[in-house]
Structure 1
Amino acid sequence: MAKCDVCGKDENMPYNCRHCGGTYCADHRLPENHNCTGLENWNDPQGVFDSGFDDSASGSGSTSRASSITDKIPLNTGTGGPLAYFRGNATYTFLALMWITFLAQLVVGAFGNSELYRSLFLLTSWNVEYVWTWVTSIFAHSTSNFMHIVGNSIVLFFFGPLVERYIGSRDFAILFIVSGVLAGLGQVVISLAQGYPTAVLGASGAALAIMGVLTVLNPGLKVYLYFIIPVPIWLLTAGYALLSITFLSGVAGGGGGIAHGAHLIGLIIGLAYGQYVKRNRNLRAPSRLEFGGGGPGGPGGPGRGRF
């Protein structure tokens, strides 16, 4: 249950405005009924009507330019085409890809071909030139610890849609992939600098980037940790940062095989991007999140070479 940002009415099925990010009841769900900040940008071709993946929704100048490109693609890229599903659903698309990749890992692992497994799913310091693993390693997770993918899935499921509504599906997809890739590569560099080779996999770098964006946009956002304990998101994010710095510096000795460097890099990217969004976009962030948390051990949970 959530409260309407205008009248304070409790709603079991609240409406979240995709333009300003606010939470409203049925009476105030329309932009004109809650003085939506997005109304100021309705005449801006790059504003609230930017559909993310559909460039044809931009102004007339960009429409002709986009048409010359999309006309050459044997795929309907319009609003009713097959790509329509991904507009507003990038979060769940990535979530599905994580579980599809997990199943693929189980299949490949069942045949016992460890070399194929590593070349497909692991970003390693000895085969960093396998550029496809920069991306596949984001969606791959440990098959020996089920909580690894469960923890990251929880963070993505509850926090991802909020960020996607704020910045749009296209920018969310870019944030997720770029932060995941840089987090993985950063962990490889850190491990080599510390004098040992490593192999990393997991989406926690991207998950921490998502949390970083939310922390900047609304540090007081209430999150129910483990679905029970209410904490502001800034405290949750600060806890992850402190934990990563502590283990990365060697103060606590070791890190349980967790890629804390990747966690920290992803979080820094999210905080930096959140500051960019806050300066350049007029957004209203909700004051509370009814569900959330993160699995045991946080995004990724405990385990070797995972992030």
Structure 2
Amino acid sequence: MAKCDECGKHENMPYTCSHCGNTFCGEHRLPEKHDCPGLTEWNDPKGVFDSGFDDSVQSEGSGRSFSLFGPGGALSYFRGNMTYVFLAAMFVTWLTQWAVLEFVGAGTYLDVFVLSTDNPLYVWTWVTSIFAHSPPPALGHIAGNAIIIFFFGRIVEDLVGSRDFTLLFLGTGVLAGLGQIGLSMALNPGELSGVLGASGAALAILGVLTVLAPDLKVYIYFILPVPIWAITIFYALISSLAILGGGGGVGAGGVAQGAHLVGLLVGLAYGKYIEGDVRRPQSLGFGGGGRGPGGPGGPGGRRRF
């Protein structure tokens, strides 16, 4: 027989309150029927339901505040959608190139968009040259890179998360551009050479997938199935032979062979680095689906915004 901690009544079958742990009779067993300390903690004495949500939206003495990339944040849409942000930036830059050439002049165009052996310390061109391509009406250059980024970028972004994908894309783009003009200066000293385009970043994406899913089938012209490792080897051989075998040098055929090779090597190295930390894609998602505002950075990613 136990004693009710509220009224002192002796009970043969006492009740134990799950909130405060005390013993009560049938009349006082509910927390609102006795002086239960759990009621002062939102009926959650152990803090099980304290998610910290109120701390994230309420700053001390200053009203509401929101996470920049979290739900409701100003940049929340970009989380999980950086592939499409980069594609949009490429086409906006492409049209801007036309406007500058048409209304400003070639000198400004070169200084703003082209990373060259003549201006390697124009640090803004390290980034602008990634998004710039052969200007309108030429469509083949930007279309080729956009196809690779659209179909494969979404997969890599899902695997590694939007933050790491952004760093991979921009970092590889910069390294590929600098690698291209560095090789040009070393192999062809005194010769003016420039580079623009997202080829280095695009081939880094292929490199990552070659490590993580080497047998992933790519349908050339949507007809011929080819494993992604074969495409990567093809690009690597073409670029290497052009640079080392006298096939026109680092810019053979008007193509940034050095940038291609640097992009592939960085992508392969990064893929090897994360190989044990991410799931392996089993199929090719054609462009993926993107995320809405505040969407996740991608399932299975290592790190995210």
TM-score, length-normalised on structure 2? 0.69
Q: Which residue of 2 aligns with 1:153?
A: 146
Query: Paired residue for 1:261, among 253, 258, 265?
Result: 258
Q: Does the 8 Å CA contact 2:239/2:257 hold for their aligned counterparts?
A: yes
* Contact kept? 1:125, 1:197, Cα under 8 Å: yes
1:286 aligned to 282, 285, 297, which one? Answer: 282
Residue deviations 1:217-275, cap 9 Å, x none? 00000001122211000001110101100111143334112110110000000000000
Structure 2 partner of 1:245 = 240
Deviation of 1:74 after TM superposition, in Å, equals: 9.8
Match of 2:155, as an amino acid? L
Q: Which moved more, 1:179-188 or 1:106-115?
A: 106-115
What is the letter of the counterpart of residue 244 of structure 1? S
In structure 1, what is the Cα distance between the partners aligned to 2:240 and 2:183? 13
Aligned to 2:109: 117
Of 197, 200, 204 in structure 1, the residue corresponding to residue 199 of structure 2 is 204
Secondary structure of the structure 2 residue equivalent to 1:126: coil
Contact 2:69/2:79 (8 A) holds in 1: no
TM-score, normalising length: structure 1:
0.69
Q: Which residue of 1 aligns with 2:291?
A: none
Identical counterparts, % of pairs: 54
Equivalent residue letter for 1:175 = L
State the 1:82 CA deviation.
2.0
Is 1:182 equivalent to 2:175 in the alignment?
yes
Bigger radius of gyration among the two: 2
Structure 1 residues 262 and 221, CA, compared in 2 at 3 Å: closer, same or farther?
same
Distance between the aligned counterparts of 2:177 and 2:278, measured in 1?
A: 32
How far did residue 202 of structure 1 move? 0.2
Task: Identify which of 166, 170, 189 aligns with 1:173.
Answer: 166
| Structure 1 residues 54-73: Cα deviation after superposition (integer angstroms, max 9, x where no partner) | xxxxx99xx99xx99xx9x9
Partner amino acid for 2:101?
G
Contact 1:223–1:289 under 8 Å retained in 2 = no
2:76 partner letter: A
Distance 1:109 1:282, change over 3 A: closer
1:85 paired to 2:77:
yes
Maintained 8 Å contact 1:184/1:201: yes
Structure 2 gaps of 5+ residues are: 1-50, 288-305
Deviation for aligned residue 1:151 = 0.3
Separation of aligned partners in 2, 1:197 and 1:189: 12
- Separation in structure 2 between the aligned mates of residue 250 and residue 206 of structure 1, nearest angstrom: 24
2:224 paired residue number:
229
Task: Check the 8 A contact 2:215/2:228 in 1, yes or no.
Answer: yes
Paired residue type of 1:147: G
Segment of structure 1 superposing worse, 125-134 or 153-162? 125-134
| Counterpart residue type for residue 151 of structure 2 | F
The Cα of 1:289 is off from its aligned counterpart by 5.3
Deviations 1:103-134 (A, max 9, x none): 10010011251111011101011111110110
Aligned partners of 2:212 and 2:271 also within 8 Å: yes
The size of the alignment, in residue pairs, is: 226
Provide the alpha-carbon RMSD of the alignment.
2.6
Structure 1 residues 75 and 125 mapped into 2: Cα distance closer, same or farther (>3 Å)?
farther
Aligned to 2:185: 192
In structure 2, how many angstroms separate the alpha carbons of the residues matched to 1:82 and 1:89? 14
Give the 3-state SS of the residue equivalent to 1:231 in structure 2.
strand
SS at match of 1:243: helix
Stretches of structure 1 that go unaligned for 5 or more consecutive residues are 1-58, 292-307
Letter in 2 for 1:189: G
Amino acid at match of 1:165: D
Residue of 268, 272, 276 corresponding to 1:271: 268
Give the Cα–Cα distance (whole angstroms) in 2 for the partners of residues 120 and 90 of structure 1. Answer: 23
Matches of 1:271 and 1:77, distance apart in 2: 29
